[in-house]
A and B are shown apart, each in its own frame.
Chain A
């Protein structure tokens, strides 16, 4: 409760951004944005997908140059000509799309670009020691400095990015959706670190689409909409959610889940028996019926994504998978798609997107067969379909021909989902489908998934947000240490119960 007093003190601003404008070809991403961050506070940046949050922090990180506007640090105007200049000013950034080098080790990634600059480390041993210390501070002493980053889970990579930001002696740490890849306990861990940092006077700019988090960790809130600041310095704890949401979206969004069907479900679409992925998943069995949404709840590292990937054939596994009663050939994704499965993967950039291609081509990639005869594309049909899906998903800007890398994170995520929203799918495997999607769009996605289920598709869903699993799924499977330890209708579970089940493990996961 003492925190509240901090919100009111007249702490001078550490960072002031005024009238920032950034124009991209065809889109004015920032149109006069103001931001005012004080030392020692957690300043939350809210806004819908495409509002300009990431662009603003890229300006702050020196990755984009603003067309106009000024940036003041400690009252002094500064020019952040490139990322190194920003780092020298004590600004460290964790980007929304992780920018680690997969082929390098954890330690090398953390000290990439500033091997000697800040700490004077030149020797590997010292770098490793410092890495170990940083990781321990982040509560992840089990990650070894020499591990190749490509082998880490998304959550592990997130931790490494954090460590990298901490390795700079920063006075301002910017985090763009850091919790999107994290499960509940990891988020708590993240908050502990943030509190530690702010206690030392470091300011944190925090971006998230999870409003509960803002309430828990935030001090003040700035809301962006269509590239403009629509509210500054709102108290994070006391501003009603409805106010925040209507500032963000310009309308009142009901944060509700679509109603569950009243009748029963159809036939069994998926039957999994004794599925085993060596070292990660041991002997898992379950079923999904037509029209049913089955949620997998579990910590990152519990084996939930691995179960999904194994079912899909993207990962070596043993056991039996039956789709509509027919045995599925394991380890062959092309076949899985042919017989009616679809997987929206967890890491959109590494596993989902063709960054150089247009939105349309990303969306139609998995269903090219539908728009072609003997391999010859019917381009009209293809672009019509892409256009329809862009509209259905409300992807912004609504231009299917725009390169997908120019879309905001949440809009890219929608495109990854859109790939599977075509007829003929019998089973959809959705791994964190709402990662980075804003509140308004989220409600629409829920409705969309439910509609698909009502049309007879079986859905297997992973989400790190327990309320999402409980609200959207019909049945929940709790996964821990590669096993299903509990199964119940979603209506019979509550958040605490699930969290207890999920975490009540001997802390052995990675």
Chain B
């Protein structure tokens, strides 16, 4: 590194030497590069894991009797499941260069729609399908407005946020709708445990795995990075950017629908107040996970780790009986610190 080589070179004999040296360096050069990059990729997730471990340590110290209990861990994961599923969808949208502010509202709408008396009459399976269809439908509307109506994602999904909440309030007449006794099978998603964990945690895990596979192992995932990274280049490479964008929002909506099923199971209700500010938590998790808001870059695993960090913080505050305002301040700080750290690791990487 520090070896300086200010040889005065002027003619072909030096050239020969350079070639020999270049040849000697060549095989190791690219290999090093790959290694270094691999290391940085891992380092980013490693940073998140360390943060998580630190938080866990804080939990063990400040709340030794309550934090490391099975029941706390289970409720922590159950809590993370709802936003977790949404976060998977948001990760796709953000890598694809967009943003979805309507996730919480769409989830609320889906939960309300699925718990109306009319829907409940058809049983739990139809309720779940209804929630998923409502979510996907809302996502499609978002996608259509953005890709074919050429609306800015922020505005289109903001409009959807407001409208979906309004519609949910209208449908429920601002009342919380209970999942009826006949449909308690739906609630069993949260009460039935396999290997100690409620079924809905498995739903969350499956969504994460499928999301990861789609993003990393399919042409759709590859194209998502392209569409977010350079839409013009993607278009010229023959990718139907508009259709793809539309599908990304539909996917996000689909995740909201699944999240609605989870929240109905957890709370046994459908309500227009479900998922308030979920959009912010989801976006924050994605950002902490290292996904760029400008698109073209990011990982599902990062987002999930980001989400877990958020969830553990919430949990710690609750266990220690601290007030929620402090919790918000802490979360705000975490976002800032995470982004600053990533900025630094990006700079050293390139």
Contacts and interface: CB of A to CB of B under 8 A. Distances in A.
A320 B125 CA distance: 52
Contacts of B18: 225-226, 228, 230
Interface stretch (B65-73, B102-110, B224-232): B224-232
Interface string A353-378: 11111000100011011001001110
Contact of B229 (A32, A68, A354, A401): A354
B220 to A, nearest CB: 6
Nearest to B232: A351
A277 B14 CA distance: 55
A339 B29 CA distance: 40
A166 to B, nearest CB: 29
B344 interface: no
B296 A229 contact: no
Given A354-B229, A402-B33, A247 B236 contact: no
A230 B233 contact: no
B223 interface: yes
Interface stretch (A180-188, A282-290, A330-338): A330-338
Contact of B33 (A68, A337, A397): A397
Contact of B2 (A34, A68, A403): A68
B235 A333 contact: yes
A401 B25 CA distance: 18
A403 B40 CA distance: 13
| Chain B interface SS verdict (over half) | helix
A334 B223 CA distance: 12
A226 B25 CA distance: 11
A284 to B, nearest CB: 21
Contacts of A343: 236
A69 B4 contact: yes
A419 B14 contact: no
Interface in B6-49: 6-12, 14-15, 18-19, 22, 25-26, 29-34, 36-37
Contacts of B8: 34
Nearest to A338: B238
Contact of A228 (B14, B26, B239): B14
B5 A32 contact: yes
Contact of A377 (B1, B30, B217, B226): B217
A354 B4 contact: no
B6 to A, nearest CB: 3
A345 interface: yes
A278 B277 CA distance: 48
B240 interface: yes
A23 B30 CA distance: 13
A232 B7 CA distance: 13
Greatest chain A CB density within 10 A among B19, B223, B230, B240 is at: B230
Contacts of B233: 345, 350-354, 365
Contacts of B226: 354, 357, 365
A196 interface: no
B170 interface: no
Contacts of A355: 229-230
B32 A25 contact: yes
Interface string A370-393: 001001110100000000000000
Greatest chain B CB density within 10 A among A230, A246, A365 is at: A365
Contacts of A246: 12
A379 B221 CA distance: 13
B61 interface: no
Nearest to B237: A366
B68 to A, nearest CB: 40
A18 interface: yes
Interface in B291-308: 296-297
B219 interface: yes
B325 interface: no
A211 interface: no
Nearest to B219: A368
B6 A345 contact: no
A399 B222 contact: no
Nearest to B349: A25
Interface in B155-199: none
Nearest to A32: B5
Given A226-B22, A375-B220, 17 more contacts: A19-B5, A21-B5, A31-B5, A68-B4, A229-B10, A230-B9, A230-B10, A231-B11, A247-B12, A312-B236, A337-B237, A354-B229, A361-B222, A368-B222, A369-B219, A375-B218, A399-B30
15 contacts: A32-B7, A231-B11, A247-B12, A333-B235, A333-B238, A338-B238, A345-B236, A351-B232, A352-B236, A361-B222, A365-B237, A376-B218, A377-B218, A399-B29, A399-B31
Interface of B: 1-2, 4-12, 14-15, 18-19, 22, 25-26, 29-34, 36-37, 217-220, 222-223, 225-226, 229-230, 232-240, 243, 296-297, 349-350
Interface of A: 18-19, 21, 23, 25-28, 31-32, 34, 67-69, 225-226, 228-232, 246-247, 250, 312, 314, 332-334, 336-338, 343, 345, 350-357, 361, 365-366, 368-369, 372, 375-377, 379, 397-399, 401-403, 405-406, 419
> Nearest 7 CB-CB pairs, A to B?
A337-B238, A19-B6, A26-B33, A399-B30, A366-B237, A334-B240, A26-B32
